[in-house]
Structure 1
Amino acid sequence: MKEIIQNLKGSFVVSCQALEHEPLYGSRFMAQMAVAVVEGGAQAIRANGPDDIRAIKAKVRVPIIGLYKKEYSGCEVYITPTINEVKAIVEAGADIIAFDATNRPRPDGKNLEEFIGLIKERYPDIPLMADIATLEEGIVAAHYRVDVVSTTMSGYTGNTRHINTFDRKLLRDLIRTVDIPIAAEGRILTPEEAACCMKSGAHLVVVGTAITRPQEITKLFYHKLYPSLRN
């Protein structure tokens, strides 16, 4: 377990994901996207759902950080929210389990300590990546002995909604405070930002939208060219 995490030190990870309403939704598209980004230098892939994980594993030979986005009625937590989603991505071949580790209620009623304990009990050999939004959440996740803490959720929870760029302060604070590897992820839009994260001490850097979501990349160009037409 520790060897996988150690081998990812200094790694550039690309998130290959597409949701149902997006043009590139589908495992065959994400598998080819993974091939393309690995050819470009990605040293690991972050992927959503068992179908995509299986398809990507069949195409590339790099570690897969697996998650499973699933919405439950009345619950804000949707990144690998229950042990059922964990089971599905483990069986699909995920090398690392990524999950929402914010302080929001989970759909099965388990608190974070219970959830992490259950994962460790059933899958003791698979590293855990805790997606958090605040320093306090990162400290708590580290206390429960996850293997990596990621800044993924900053800007996507109620108390961080005001943050609409990469949260550099959160990254710095985590690196100074938490004595486990830290992943920089969330709204990293340029190579310069990614390099800055690495230089700041991030164990690994994850980039998604800026590479693998062409509709969003196109919007950035469009709004720069035609600022008066921005919605």
Structure 2
Amino acid sequence: MSGDKKLSIAEIDRQLACGLIVSCQPVDNGPLDDDEIVVCFARAALAGGADGLRIEGARRVAKVRAALPQALIIGIVKRDLHDSPVRITPLQTDVSALAEAGADIIAVDATRRPRPAAVRALIDEIHRHSKLAMADCSCFEDAAQAHGCGAEIVGTTLSGYTGGEVPERPDFALLEKMVAAFPRVMAEGRFNTPADSARARELGAWAVTVGTAITRTELVTQWFAEALKVHGKDSAPA
């Protein structure tokens, strides 16, 4: 494990050959929700050409760091809080745990919703550990606030996930607006095809995070199963 590993943002810029970050987060409590399987997901992602990984939980960050000491790791912690809708790295203690586990970048929910710790306090804690801060945003205003608080990276991660029906496609309009205003924008959220991911880079995304389409086997299988049901029994040969 390399909890004191420090990368500058310039060094990370140089590591982004294609700009693909793979989120190795299996379906909760599913058959692939296992520490060693997450490490295998991480190995496979890097072998396939990914530039970095997004890993949930300090314990799993530590395991991936031990197995892949040179990997670029974005670390998060997910929590279900009774008094706040914020789930992604909501506490300063989560930041500390991820930093000690070896994350290079720590991502936090940067939405302007009721929360246990202010966005600025979380970003300050990330920087206190000499790590880089990523803000998971739902709108342009979230990104502007987080960037003003010192976040080196802002992402479209939470667009469509803070109320109402979740869209099927990525939020390209938000991505374009953010790219025009901030130096490093992570395209994230429903980037489920190579074509959409390539489009994000064409629009100027610093990098693209892909998760479900690569590491959530149950959900991808469901996409295929539901599509095939449309042409099920009625189209079977007599």
What TM-score, normalized by structure 2, do the two folds share? Answer: 0.88
Question: Is 1:16 matched up with 2:21?
Answer: no
Question: Is 1:173 matched up with 2:177?
Answer: yes
3-state SS, counterpart of residue 153 of structure 1: coil
Is the contact between residue 27 and residue 218 of structure 2 (CA under 8 Å) also seen in structure 1? no
Could you say which residue in structure 1 is the equivalent of 2:197? 194
Could you say which residue in structure 2 is the equivalent of 1:127? 132
Q: 1:113 aligns with which of 106, 117, 120?
A: 120
CA distance in 2, matches of 1:67, 1:192: 27
Could you say which residue in structure 1 is the equivalent of 2:34? 26
Shifted more, 187-196 versus 66-75: the winner is: 66-75
After superposition, where does 1:73-222 map in structure 2 within 5 Å? Answer: 73-107=82-116, 110-120=117-127, 122-123=128-129, 125-158=130-163, 161-176=165-180, 178-222=181-225
Cα root mean square deviation, aligned: 1.7
Cα 1:5–1:32, aligned 2, differ >3 Å: closer, same or farther?
same
Give 1:21 shift: 2.1
Higher Rg: 2
Question: Is 1:54 matched up with 2:33?
Answer: no
Give 1:155 shift: 1.2
3-state SS, counterpart of residue 67 of structure 2: coil
3-state SS, counterpart of residue 44 of structure 2: helix
Give 1:228 shift: 7.8
Q: 2:78 aligns with which of 40, 44, 69?
A: 69
Q: Which amino acid aligns with 2:99?
A: V
Is the contact between residue 48 and residue 67 of structure 1 (CA under 8 Å) also seen in structure 2? yes
3-state SS, counterpart of residue 220 of structure 1: helix
Give 1:119 shift: 3.3
Could you say which residue in structure 2 is the equivalent of 1:6? 13
Is the contact between residue 185 and residue 207 of structure 2 (CA under 8 Å) also seen in structure 1? yes
CA distance in 2, matches of 1:154, 1:118: 25
Cα 1:8–1:169, aligned 2, differ >3 Å: closer, same or farther?
farther
5+ residue gaps, structure 1, are none
Q: Which amino acid aligns with 1:199?
A: E
What TM-score, normalized by structure 1, do the two folds share? Answer: 0.90
CA distance in 1, matches of 2:66, 2:122: 30
3-state SS, counterpart of residue 66 of structure 1: strand
Is the contact between residue 108 and residue 122 of structure 2 (CA under 8 Å) also seen in structure 1? no
Percent identity between the two aligned chains: 35
CA distance in 2, matches of 1:173, 1:5: 23
